[in-house]
């Protein structure tokens, strides 16, 4: 959508391998297919979207910093950085944009080290175990917040209504 600040979809390490990486856990849907579905849903909600995937923590942090002025919300699947990156957590906290954390699998049903997320403490919502559909749920949640009449609910971060 021209003139509308996009919702940033960030995908971390190894998510470029979706469709072929451990299909028993992550399915056979590729990241490109997820992006296509999200773009179609964004159009239905009158939202713009931007996608970035990186296997490098610093690149993801740079994208979060840019989002502060260029985007209206963030959807992030940090991959393995979920469980290790204080720096990624701090970047999300610093930009104060509404953030939805997404994981294709239910990380609480996996290895013990995956049970803790540094990101969840600064995210406004967390979607686990909904498969690739979780990305659409995140977009719909953000669309719901933007469409709600009156003031936005108090959350750790506040979605900026862009008109």
Q: Are 55 and 16 in contact (CB under 8 A)?
A: yes
Instruction: Note whether 152 and 145 are within 8 A (CB).
Output: yes
Catalytic residue among 26, 45, 116, 144: 26
Q: Is 45 a catalytic residue?
A: no
Establish whether 26 is a catalytic residue. Answer: yes
105 carries a ligand binding annotation: yes
Torsion 37-41-44-50 (CA) sign: negative
Which one from 45, 56, 103, 112 is the annotated catalytic residue?
103
Query: Is 124 one of the annotated binding-site residues?
Result: no
The reply to whether 104 sits in an annotated binding site is yes
Say if CB 49 and CB 7 are below 8 A apart. Answer: yes
Alpha-carbon gap, residue 160 to 139, rounded angstroms? 15
SS3 content of the chain, % helix, strand, coil (to 5): 45, 15, 40
Q: Which residues are catalytic?
A: 26, 103
Residue positions in the annotated binding site?
A: 77, 83, 90, 104-105, 114
Residue positions in the annotated binding site for substrate?
A: 77, 83, 90, 104-105, 114
């Amino acid at each position: 959508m021209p003139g509308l600040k996009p919702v940033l979809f960030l995908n971390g390490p190894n998510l470029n391998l979706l469709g072929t990486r451990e299909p028993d856990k992550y399915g056979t849907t590729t990241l490109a297919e997820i992006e296509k579905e999200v773009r179609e849903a964004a159009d239905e909600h009158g939202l713009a979207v931007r996608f970035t995937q990186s296997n490098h923590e610093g690149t993801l942090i740079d994208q979060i910093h840019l989002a502060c002025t260029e985007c209206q919300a963030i959807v992030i699947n940090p991959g393995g950085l979920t469980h290790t990156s204080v720096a990624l957590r701090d970047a999300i906290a610093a930009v104060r944009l509404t953030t939805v954390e997404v994981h294709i699998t239910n990380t609480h049903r996996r290895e013990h080290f995956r049970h803790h997320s540094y990101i969840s403490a600064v995210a406004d919502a967390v979607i686990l175990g909904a498969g690739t559909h979780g990305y659409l749920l995140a977009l719909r949640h953000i669309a719901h917040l933007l469409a709600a009449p009156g003031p936005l609910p108090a959350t750790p971060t506040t979605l900026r209504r862009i008109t």
